[in-house]
Structure 1
Amino acid sequence: MQIESAPMGVYQTNCYIVRSGGKELIVDPGVGATAWVLERVKNPVAILNTHGHFDHVWSNAELKEALGVPIYCPEGDTFMLEKDPFGQGTPPSRADVAVSPDEKVEIGGIACTFLHFPGHTPGCSAIALADEAGNEVWFSGDFLFKGSIGRVDFPYSDPEAMRQSLQKALAYPKNPTLLPGHGPRTTLEAEKRVIPYWLSAIG
């Protein structure tokens, strides 16, 4: 499995291309992601959204039209793709597959699990994949960053749900590499050292 990334738009939202078995997944195509993606993909099979915020889904519609691939989005956030709830002028898109919490899906022979960690948004998820050696990688979206967590003061955010999600992450038995929606990569083990602070900060 090979992973390529680039920060997109004013919010420097990481867009990822995952290559495995001759197929490609596009994760969180944000503002201005289309040209970058089209230059790099040869056999794309899907667009995956970790959650529905505009800076992660902006190029959904444009890429779907160009590539003819389905969009997978956590079911709790599909309304954000369609309704532009923050009034950002986000080009509307529609999830072809509304993924249930913690559901495992196979896309072009690539197994993905949408681990549900609500709080930042209702459907906020970390998309988990494993490489050829069995090492787990999470595309953690805006749930966990290096040293930080997703904000819980937006419309549709839920601080108590975030508390429960952080507890769920603390109990996770493996140590995946985390590829977040913003900023550099980290590991779950590293973030477990700071999660207690954020649990206290949420109150």
Structure 2
Amino acid sequence: MDIKVRPMGDYQTNCYIVTIDEKDIIIDPGVGATNWVKENVHYPIAILNTHGHFDHIWSDQELKELLNVKLYCPKDDAFMLQNNPFGFDVPKTQADILVQPDESLMIEGIKVTFHHFPGHTPGCSAIEIENRLFSGDFIFSGSIGRADFPYSDSRQMIESIEKILKWDKDIQIYPGHGLDTFLSRERNSLNNWKNYL
């Protein structure tokens, strides 16, 4: 597996290109991601959204048309692709595949699991591919996503933290903002945040 990352836009939202067996999966193409993605993919097979916030989906439609690939989005956040809750003029798009909570899919022979961790958004998911977790705005290095936005829910965030703390494996985490980390490194932080919320 090869992982490329580029922070995009004012919020420095990480856009990822995951390449396995020469097949490229694009995760969270935010503001201005199109040219970078176009220059770095050779055989794109899918666009995946961890959740529906504008800084993670901004270039979805442009890349869908350019690359002729399907867009996968957690079903509970799909409404945000049409109706941005923050009032920005985000290019509208529509998911081709509405992913169910905790659903695993095979995309051209590559297993992709959308682990459902609501709280930041209703459909917020961390996408697991070959023991790497693309956590969107659920977990960051030393922090978590905010739970005070429109459609956020602090009670659900607590439940999501409790859910991942039950995992008995370590896994490398590639967040929506900032540097990568490991679940083992984040356990103390997650426990602290759980008690703070």
TM-score (structure 1 length as normaliser):
0.96
Alignment of 1:114-193 (within 5 A): 114-130=114-130, 136-193=131-188
Amino acid aligned to 2:155: E
Partner AA of 2:129 in structure 1: L
Listed as ranges, the gaps of 5+ residues in structure 1 are 131-135
Amino acid at match of 1:7: P
The code of the aligned residue for 1:78 comes to A
Residue of structure 2 in register with 1:34 after alignment:
34
Question: What is the Cα deviation at residue 83 of structure 1?
Answer: 1.3
Letter in structure 2 aligned against 1:178: I
Task: Work out the percentage of aligned pairs sharing the same amino acid.
Answer: 56
Mapped to 2, the partners of 1:79 and 1:48 lie a distance apart of 15
Residues 14-163 of structure 1: pairs in structure 2 closer than 5 A: 14-130=14-130, 136-163=131-158
SS of match in other structure, 1:193: helix
Aligned length: 197
- 1:11 and 1:65 mapped to 2: Cα distance? 25
Paired with 2:166 and 2:85, the residues of 1 have a C-alpha distance of 33
Q: CA deviation at 1:142?
A: 0.1
CA-to-partner distance for each residue in 1:121-149, whole Å, 9 max, x for gaps?
A: 0000000011xxxxx10000000000000
Measured in 2, the distance between the counterparts of 1:88 and 1:46 equals 25
Q: Offset at 1:103? A: 0.2
Q: Could you list the runs of 5+ residues in structure 2 that have no partner in the other structure? A: none
Where in structure 1 do 4 or more consecutive aligned residues deviate above 2 Å? Answer: none
Q: Distance in 2 between matches of 1:2 and 1:193?
A: 29
Query: 2:94 is paired with a residue of what secondary structure?
Result: coil
Question: Over aligned residues, Cα RMSD in angstroms?
Answer: 0.6
